[in-house]
Amino acid sequence: MKGLYFQKSSTNEEITFVFQERENLPVIEDNYVRLQVKACALSQINTKLLTEMKMEKDFFPVGREIAGIVLDGILPLDSEDPGLCEVVRVHEHYLVHKPEKVTWTEAAGTIRDGVRAYTALHYLSHLSPGKSVLIMDGASALGMIAIQLAHHRGAKVISTAGSLEDKQCLERLRPSIARVIDISSGKAHVAESCLEETGGLGVDIVLDAGVRLYSKDDEPAVKLQLLPHKHDIITLLGVGGHWVTTEENLQLDPPDSHCLFLKGATVAFLNDEVWNLSNVQQGKYLCILKDVMEKLSAGVFRPQLDEPIPLYEAKVSMEVVQKNPGRKKQVVQF
């Protein structure tokens, strides 16, 4: 039985994906189950995080967002089994029941972004009805789920679009977004637009998709065009606001911290892997997984999925996803 793995190059910069023959699964221990995989979503692999967690191996398993018989879940970060394989062994604490109305590909394609959206908006920023939320890059897989969750909670949503296609996609959403800020030309001022939309009060919650940290001369051209500067985010935050960032190397200078202090604002880092790093969080984690599946079944979450692909195309597709995730989630169907 073959599974997909990745291997780092000696320079530690590039990774290659290979199918490897797997040994027979060990005898099932207490609280472990065998899972027949029906679908597995493809996501970028954070090799830097694996290095920092000292979890490097010669061959590391690929594919963690899986759906199958009888259960559905996200394989833990230290799992020895790749999700891109017909059968895996997984602890029951990482599984949640899939509603009958939800397809295998929907379950696998939504579970991770659902966890990330819940972590950002519920646990890190305490989303509630009436709050104003800025979701950067709203047409991305995470952005779409975050927008749908914010609308479901009764929030006012503002979003950014990096292309005409993204802008049209966001404008078609129902319930409608309060304002779509087109940043594709590099001329739109995100901070000014948000302050104008909120009557000068600023937004209550910001979920970014990365930020610029330095001056224009020190940043790549693409990053200059599509990402706001950290000062813009601080400017558009309202009093008592929450900034949830995906920028793992965020640097705040003393004037930045002072401005956040005056606003009583907070900065939180979105790392959805924290749920698997401590058993203390297991109960909350399972509640999130269950709620994501229920909202998917109820039609609250409507993921943007690409056409399912067969297992033999997983290697090529994963190479593409690792370089550029794309707007729609890629799912392997067994």
User: Got the DSSP string for 178-219?
Assistant: SEEEE-TTS---HHHHHHHHTTTS-EEEEE-S--B-S-GGGS
**pLDDT recorded at residue 10:** 58
Phi, psi of 299 (to 5 degrees): 90, 5
The residue among 20, 1, 10, 39 whose CA lies nearest residue 315 is: 20
Two tokens at 278? 């401590």
Two tokens at 262? 């005056």
Which residues contact residue 200 at a Cβ distance below 8 angstroms, ignoring those fewer than 6 apart? none
* Residue 125, helix vs strand vs coil: coil
d(CA 152, CA 131): 12
CA dihedral defined by 276, 282, 284, 287, rounded to 10 degrees? 100
Q: Average pLDDT of 248-268?
A: 95
d(CA 246, CA 270): 5
| Res. 316: pLDDT tops 60 | yes
**pLDDT recorded at residue 113:** 95
Alpha helices in 119-173 (DSSP H): 141-152, 164-171
* Residue 159, helix vs strand vs coil: strand
Residue spans of the domains in the chain: they are 10-76+83-109+296-333, 126-269
Share of the chain above pLDDT 70, in %: 90
Where does 229-326 show beta strands of DSSP type E? 237-245, 266-269
More confident residue, 4 or 127: 127
Q: Average pLDDT of 149-175?
A: 95
Q: Average pLDDT of 71-100?
A: 77
CB 226 within 8 A of CB 208: no
Cα–Cα–Cα angle for 322, 328, 330, rounded to 5 degrees:
55
- Residue 198: pLDDT band (50, 70, 90) is very high
Helices (H) and strands (E) in the chain, counts: 10, 15
**pLDDT recorded at residue 267:** 97
- Residue 218: pLDDT band (50, 70, 90) is low
45-54, 70-79, 241-250 — most confident range: 241-250
Query: Positive or negative, the Cα torsion across 167, 169, 172, 176?
Result: negative
**pLDDT recorded at residue 225:** 59
Share of the chain above pLDDT 90, in %: 57
Pick the CATH number of 10-76+83-109+296-333 from 3.90.180.10, 2.30.30.100, 2.60.40.10, 3.40.50.2300: 3.90.180.10
- Residue 227: pLDDT band (50, 70, 90) is confident
* 214 burial via Cβ count (<10 Å: 0-12, 13-18, 19+): exposed
- Residue 188: pLDDT band (50, 70, 90) is confident
Q: Which residue has the tokens 């001369």?
A: 217
Low-confidence winner among 86-90, 118-122, 260-264, 283-287 (lowest mean pLDDT): 86-90
Low-confidence winner among 15-24, 173-182, 321-330 (lowest mean pLDDT): 15-24
Q: Is 202 left (phi over 0), alpha (psi -120 to 50) or beta?
A: left
Phi, psi of 65 (to 5 degrees): -95, 100
**pLDDT recorded at residue 136:** 96
d(CA 320, CA 332): 14
d(CA 191, CA 230): 10
- Residue 301: pLDDT band (50, 70, 90) is very high
Q: How many residues does the chain have?
A: 334
More confident residue, 45 or 181: 181
Give the CATH class of 126-269: alpha beta
| Res. 223: pLDDT tops 90 | no
More confident residue, 33 or 334: 334
- Residue 332: pLDDT band (50, 70, 90) is very high
d(CA 250, CA 262): 20
